[in-house]
Amino acid sequence: MRHKNRNQQKETIIRVLRLLRPYTGYILLSVLCALGTVVTTLLIPILSGKAIDHMLGAGKVDFPGLYLVLKQIVVVAAGTFLFQLIMNRVNNYITYSVTKNIRQKAFEKLLVWPVATIDRESHGDIVSRIVTDADSFSDGLLLGFTQLFTGVMTILGTIAFMLRIRMSIALVVIVLTPLSLKVAKFIAGRSYRMFMSQSKDRGELTEFLQERITLFDLVNQLGYGEQTREEFREKNQKLTESAMKATFYSSLTNPSTRFVNALIYAAVGVAGALVVIAGHITVGELSSFLGYAREYARPFNEITGVVTEMQNALACAQRLFAMMDSKAVENGEEMLPQNLEGCVAMRHVDFSYDPKTELIKDLSFTAKPGETVAIVGPTGAGKSTIINLLMRFYDVDRGEVSVDGTDIRRLLRASLRSSYGMVLQETFLFHATIRENLMLGKPDATEEEMVAAAKAAHAHSFIRRLPKGYDTVLAPEGGSLSQGQKQLLCIARLMLALPDLLILDEATSSIDTRTEIKIQDAFHKMMKGRTTFIVAHRLQTIRDADFILYMEKGRVLEQGTHQQLLKKNGYYARLYHSQFSTIQG
């Protein structure tokens, strides 16, 4: 397992480096600024030592020499500030550009995920990867650019300056340094696993929160608040524990390396004092040396902190890369013609969501151009699955689904899906104006066309009563609109786009009977000449269908017109009469 984690880390680092390749010029500029920062920073201890030597001895202060050194210190400090300012701006640009790109790629991959993957994955975890993990990655990357370059150069620079002052004391520092590196490596290896666990637990908590907020009314209605509180407490506790472990291990790095570096500093002080007493270096030079010893130790503290933070960044990057590497839905290359006839057929189709559980077996039917096909049956019969297969949200396991004789697997997804218009029982509205929501399917529609569609759907009257009419911004998921009003907006959107093929899945389930009767007239006009699939539970609404498919357990048990199926006195007739008697009762 440890070997596997090491390989994954290595692969992740290589991919991050590939992402940085387009910014090579900016990285070189950052390195040059880091070098400038280090050089100017390391000049200050030498100048400070000279200043001390100019002040040694009562009444022997060399004021002209001291003033000159102080001026030099001011100039060097200003240079340090300028180099750091440029370096920070460049590093910010690199980091947030890379993060923007990786987040964009992850989201674009999400758009081409198979629906099966979306259904299988935790939605909260997906959100957590794209938002939280990307932010954590950028934090680690920024820290790496800001402190890693300067840290490494500071270490090399201080060694050079210390060797110049006194090689014997410099060797004391260099020999003891590996202790710091060993401690940092030991802790960093464990931090990576802890941060991976923390990211996973954070995704689970995000998913839980998203679900409970979405189902807030249901939670209150069912009195599920106490259990929800307890479930949140458990998940929150789990995240807290994994976060505390990750933070604990990562926080060990700095004090551990500081302790080792303090020992090194003390050894340098003792060795340096003996050398001063022997008369080999001045007090000012010892002060400079101690300053370098301190500067030498500081990057180790920073680098170990960077390494720890990079473990978190790499863990988050690995989750994002896993998302980006996931299989996209296969896309065809052909386009449907603009003058679509609308012949839709299924031939010997087998399909199951779970290979262990058989659902649809050897399903065949043909909807001729302009026909209305109604799909009915008990819950779980496979009605919505038919829609998923027609739209190619899922691919068949065996057989073929075709439009005008072309297997839909050979078609571009965009071409296929733009040919369908859907109104589902579950409404889908974006957090945007009503105008923007209605014009999604036909962005170039005129104002008159949009209003005419809204009137045909009997939505115009309630839209006018809203504060800003068609420019009213809807809250997420429709906000305060009733379920019926939201469904009317979805119907209006379909009537405005008017594609060649229609799918109506309980399209009027949330609308009052009086409005439904009016809309049915508009539907009949809209459906004329368009191949239409209707999924219905209320059988009174599908009596005029050209033919009806009665399904149970993924199989079509009966098909024919309403009258033909009633005469058969089979499954459909029993279902129809049971509904009719219920209504009568």
Q: What is the pLDDT of residue 347?
A: 92
Give ∠ CA 499-502-508 in degrees, rounded to 5: 120
Amino acid identity at 216:
F
pLDDT at 583 over 50: no
Cα–Cα distance measured from residue 546 to residue 453, given in angstroms and rounded to the nearest whole number = 26
Give ∠ CA 209-211-215 in degrees, rounded to 5: 115
DSSP strands (E only) in 352-490:
360-367, 372-376, 398-403, 406-407, 420-423
- Here the CATH number for the domain that contains residue 41 is 1.20.1560.10
- The token pair at 8 is 């994954």
Q: Is the dihedral of CA 204, 210, 214, 218 positive or negative?
A: positive
pLDDT in tens, 344-400: 999 999 998 888 878 888 888 899 998 989 998 887 778 888 888 998 888 889 999
Closest CA relative to residue 346, chosen from 360, 333, 335: 360
* pLDDT over 70 percentage in the chain: 89
Average pLDDT over residues 302-331: 77
| Distances from the Cα of 96 to the Cα of 108, 139, 386, angstroms | 18, 9, 44
Average pLDDT over residues 197-222: 72
483 lies in the same domain as 560:
no
- Backbone angles phi and psi of 28, in degrees to 5: -65, -40
pLDDT at 279 over 80: no
Q: What is the pLDDT of residue 96?
A: 87
Cα–Cα distance measured from residue 136 to residue 479, given in angstroms and rounded to the nearest whole number = 32
254 lies in the same domain as 171:
yes
Confidence of residue 184 (pLDDT cuts 50, 70, 90): low
Contacts by 467-472, CB closer than 8 A, 24 or more apart:
468/433, 469/434, 470/433, 470/434, 470/435, 470/438, 471/433, 471/434, 471/435, 472/433, 472/434
- The token pair at 398 is 């065996």
Cα–Cα distance measured from residue 540 to residue 562, given in angstroms and rounded to the nearest whole number = 10
Q: How many helices (H) and strands (E) does the chain have?
A: 21, 10
508 lies in the same domain as 447:
no
Distance from chain centroid for Cα 244: 24
| Distances from the Cα of 487 to the Cα of 457, 459, 469, 498, 535, angstroms | 9, 9, 17, 17, 15
Average pLDDT over residues 36-61: 74
Q: Are 387 and 503 in contact (CB under 8 A)?
A: yes
Q: What is the pLDDT of residue 281?
A: 73
3-state secondary structure of 329: coil
Residue with more model confidence, 19 or 55: 19
pLDDT at 254 over 70: no
- Here the CATH number for the domain that contains residue 461 is 3.40.50.300
Residue whose tokens read 């499954």: 571
- Backbone angles phi and psi of 396, in degrees to 5: -70, 150
* pLDDT over 90 percentage in the chain: 5
- Tell me how far apart the terminal alpha carbons of the chain are, to the nearest angstrom: 66
140 lies in the same domain as 270:
yes
187 lies in the same domain as 287:
yes
Q: What is the pLDDT of residue 4?
A: 58
Q: What is the pLDDT of residue 524?
A: 79
Q: Are 5 and 192 in contact (CB under 8 A)?
A: yes
243 lies in the same domain as 313:
yes
pLDDT at 46 over 60: yes
273 lies in the same domain as 404:
no
- The token pair at 95 is 């980091």
Cα–Cα distance measured from residue 445 to residue 177, given in angstroms and rounded to the nearest whole number = 71
- The token pair at 155 is 């270490």
564 lies in the same domain as 585:
yes
Cα–Cα distance measured from residue 481 to residue 75, given in angstroms and rounded to the nearest whole number = 66
Confidence of residue 585 (pLDDT cuts 50, 70, 90): very low
pLDDT at 472 over 70: yes
pLDDT in tens, 476-497: 766 678 888 888 888 888 888 8
pLDDT at 573 over 90: no
Cα–Cα distance measured from residue 257 to residue 252, given in angstroms and rounded to the nearest whole number = 9
Q: Are 404 and 416 in contact (CB under 8 A)?
A: no
Residue with more model confidence, 509 or 30: 30
Q: What is the pLDDT of residue 400?
A: 94
393 lies in the same domain as 537:
yes
Cα–Cα distance measured from residue 334 to residue 106, given in angstroms and rounded to the nearest whole number = 26
| Residues of the domain holding 538 | 331-419+500-585
pLDDT at 438 over 50: yes
DSSP assignment of 412-441, as one string?
A: -HHHHHHTEEEE-SS----SSBHHHHHTSS
Average pLDDT over residues 30-34: 86
Average pLDDT over residues 113-122: 76
User: Considering only 5-14, 120-129, 188-197, 482-491, which range has the smallest mean pLDDT?
Assistant: 188-197
Domain boundary among 291, 307, 325: 325
Q: What is the pLDDT of residue 399?
A: 93
DSSP assignment of 64-124, as one string?
A: HHHHHHHHHHHHHHHHHHHHHHHHHHHHHHHHHHHHHHHHHHHHHHHHTS-HHHHHHS-HH
Q: What is the pLDDT of residue 159?
A: 79
Average pLDDT over residues 460-466: 89
Cα–Cα distance measured from residue 353 to residue 355, given in angstroms and rounded to the nearest whole number = 7
| Distances from the Cα of 375 to the Cα of 46, 226, 336, 404, 579, angstroms | 87, 41, 25, 20, 16
pLDDT at 292 over 60: yes
- The token pair at 241 is 């524990």
Confidence of residue 218 (pLDDT cuts 50, 70, 90): low
Q: What is the pLDDT of residue 584?
A: 44
Confidence of residue 178 (pLDDT cuts 50, 70, 90): low
Q: What is the pLDDT of residue 171?
A: 76
3-state secondary structure of 144: helix
Q: What is the pLDDT of residue 542?
A: 80
Number of domains in the chain: 3
Residue whose tokens read 């000012």: 284
Residue with more model confidence, 393 or 178: 393
Distance from chain centroid for Cα 530: 38
Residue whose tokens read 């409005």: 515
pLDDT at 304 over 70: no
Q: What is the pLDDT of residue 236?
A: 86
Average pLDDT over residues 160-176: 74
Domain boundary among 482, 498, 514: 498
Q: What is the mean pLDDT of the chain?
A: 80
Average pLDDT over residues 62-67: 78
User: Considering only 137-151, 164-178, 461-475, which range has the smallest mean pLDDT?
Assistant: 164-178
Residue with more model confidence, 298 or 450: 450
Q: What is the pLDDT of residue 188?
A: 65
Specify the DSSP class assigned to residue 351: E
pLDDT at 5 over 70: no
- Spatial CB neighbours of 369, under 8 Å, sequence gap ≥ 6: 341, 342, 343, 531
368 lies in the same domain as 514:
yes
| Distances from the Cα of 462 to the Cα of 12, 428, 517, angstroms | 54, 18, 18
Cα–Cα distance measured from residue 5 to residue 461, given in angstroms and rounded to the nearest whole number = 61
Q: What is the pLDDT of residue 220?
A: 62
150 lies in the same domain as 246:
yes
478 lies in the same domain as 467:
yes
Domain boundary among 465, 498, 531: 498
